Amino acid sequence: MIKILIVEDEKNQRELLSSSLKDDYDTITAASGKEAFEIFEDDRTIGIIISDFKMDDMDGIELLKRVKRCAPDVIFILITAYASVSSAVTALKLGAYDYITKPIVIEKLKVILKRAVESYFLLIENRELKEKLKMHYSFEKIITKSPRMKEILSIVSRVSHSKTTVLITGESGTGKELIARAIYNASDRNDRPFIPINCSAIPETLLESELFGYEKGAFTGAVKTKKGKLEIADRGTAFFDEVGDVPLTIQVKLLRFLQFGEIVPLGRETSLHVDVRIICSTNKDLRKKIEEGIFREDLFYRLNVVEIHIPPLRERKEDITPLVNHFIKKYSKVSGKSIEGISNEAMRYLFSYNWPGNVRELESLIERAIVMSRDTIIDVDDLPISLKGIEEKEGDLALKMVEKKHIERVLGLQGGNISKAAEILGIHRNTLMSKLKEYNINRND
């Protein structure tokens, strides 16, 4: 029920209004403009104010002005004496919804109120819709000019409305999670949860209970029943990040879930039915993993109903300029610096680089450059040495030097994580360890 605040200094009139409206509305009263404003400040659920114009301490127009300043959506209806219609005109100009002249005909007021309530809800609904839409687009801000990426976006909009399982492949930092979220945002499940599960970060022993949950007493330490992520994601979407890292023992259970929509929490006799849309991503070659016997072929076909492959940044260099502009805007806002752009020379470096860390690497480079920049334009000086080094000094062009710098870069980008860096470099982690020793590279640099 919508809440109405009645403001009237004459007691009889106030009580009459209140009693004739209280069956249909939640009414509160105030005996003066000042009191009304105090009540209003404490209770922002008030949707409508009906106020007399002439009052001693604060008149209806002043109250209207104050209310509109803090809550423009509130519906304001002014009561005027027949003689002061000019104040009614002023009120309308200030955003009042309507006015009613004295003596008040209750039936007439009820008609005005009915219309007012309708428009109030429309206004609120509209605003909520707009907010939802805004959120939708801000999440979906995928910057691209590349025809291959545009093709991907059209696949995204085609698959989002079904429950089809999607496998997103691509190198690290190409935007796999961004695409997964875009599919979710455009789907009709977007009012239900999106649950990301990072399969490579969760140890094998925990992954099972994370996914499927457990019953109280299922194992030592299971002091209470815990819902698994798949149960939490019911009627929503689960995103399996790095699905290639799911161990074989859990792959079997995942397959069962994909086939029958059933999960069995640890320590439970019976299964649970859940309705979850699955999106997966991997930066590894799952087909190779199948050959090696560490990924189940049947699971692969279940996951790979639609495959979206995101090309690395070096294969879509037309995206570099729009991405750079986008990140400059984003981070100059964050840092409070007004960076206007980037010099042509700096751009040339960005184009000649091969971006092993893809869009993520470009993003952190721009973020850093903005912090470093002492000017309104990002210049070569603001770029990291490792990016320029390869072009700049001939002495540095010795193969070993280039290798050392490249390792340092990749390692830095991966936050010193040896396994991840080794993977990007395409070498075994032991090989990387010995190279770190050889080049005297400190992994925390």
Ligand X SMILES: Nc1ncnc2c1ncn2[C@@H]1O[C@H](COP(=O)(O)OP(=O)(O)OP(=O)(O)O)[C@@H](O)[C@H]1O
Q: Does 153 bind ligand X (CB under 6 A)?
A: no
For the bound state, the minimum distance from the C-beta of residue 283 to ligand X, rounded and expressed in Å, comes to 5
Site for ligand X in 293-332 (CB under 6 A): 323
For the bound state, the minimum distance from the C-beta of residue 200 to ligand X, rounded and expressed in Å, comes to 9
The owner of tokens 């989002």 is 160
For the bound state, the minimum distance from the C-beta of residue 167 to ligand X, rounded and expressed in Å, comes to 13
Residue closer to ligand X by CB (options 359, 378) is: 359
- Separation of first and last alpha carbons in the chain: 62
Q: Does 173 bind ligand X (CB under 6 A)?
A: yes
Residue closer to ligand X by CB (options 136, 216) is: 136
For the bound state, the minimum distance from the C-beta of residue 180 to Mg ion, rounded and expressed in Å, comes to 8
Residue among 39, 71, 142, 232 that touches ligand X (CB under 6 A)? 142
Cβ proximity of 15 and 130 under 8 Å = no
Rounded CA gap, 429 and 1, in Å? 65
> Hey, which residues does 48 pair with through a beta bridge?
4, 75
Q: Does 155 bind ligand X (CB under 6 A)?
A: no
Residue closer to ligand X by CB (options 360, 429) is: 360
Cβ proximity of 62 and 35 under 8 Å = no
Residue among 61, 359, 369, 410 that touches ligand X (CB under 6 A)? 359
Residue closer to Mg ion by CB (options 78, 199) is: 199
Rounded CA gap, 399 and 370, in Å? 31
Cβ proximity of 328 and 338 under 8 Å = no
Residue closer to Mg ion by CB (options 177, 215) is: 177
Which position's Cβ is nearest ligand X? 175
Q: Determine the residue type at 271.
A: S
> Using alpha carbons only, how large is the chain's radius of gyration in Å?
31
The owner of tokens 């990387």 is 432
For the bound state, the minimum distance from the C-beta of residue 364 to Mg ion, rounded and expressed in Å, comes to 14
CA distances from 349 to 301, 377, 409, 426 (A): 42, 15, 15, 24
Which of the choices ligand X, Mg ion, none does residue 356 contact, using the CB cut-off of 5 to 8 A by kind?
none
Which residue from 404, 403, 362 is spatially nearest to 384, judged by alpha carbons? 362
Rounded CA gap, 363 and 331, in Å? 9
For the bound state, the minimum distance from the C-beta of residue 160 to ligand X, rounded and expressed in Å, comes to 16
> Hey, which residues does 277 pair with through a beta bridge?
237
Applying CB under 6 A, what is the total number of residues that bind ligand X? 16
For the bound state, the minimum distance from the C-beta of residue 195 to Mg ion, rounded and expressed in Å, comes to 14
Stretch binding ligand X (CB under 6 A), from 77-85, 168-176, 223-231, 392-400: 168-176
Element housing 309 (H / E): strand 306-309
Cβ proximity of 176 and 240 under 8 Å = no
Interacting residues with Mg ion (CB under 5 A):
177
Q: Does 144 bind ligand X (CB under 6 A)?
A: yes
Residue among 47, 60, 175, 228 that touches ligand X (CB under 6 A)? 175
Cβ proximity of 125 and 33 under 8 Å = no
Residue among 176, 277, 296, 302 that touches ligand X (CB under 6 A)? 176
Which residue from 79, 71, 65, 15 is spatially nearest to 45, judged by alpha carbons? 71
For the bound state, the minimum distance from the C-beta of residue 197 to Mg ion, rounded and expressed in Å, comes to 11
Which of the choices Mg ion, ligand X, none does residue 283 contact, using the CB cut-off of 5 to 8 A by kind?
ligand X
Stretch binding ligand X (CB under 6 A), from 9-17, 137-145, 218-226, 232-240: 137-145
Say whether 217 sits in a helix, a strand or coil: coil
Q: Which residues bind ligand X (CB under 6 A)?
A: 142-144, 170, 172-178, 283, 323, 359-360, 363
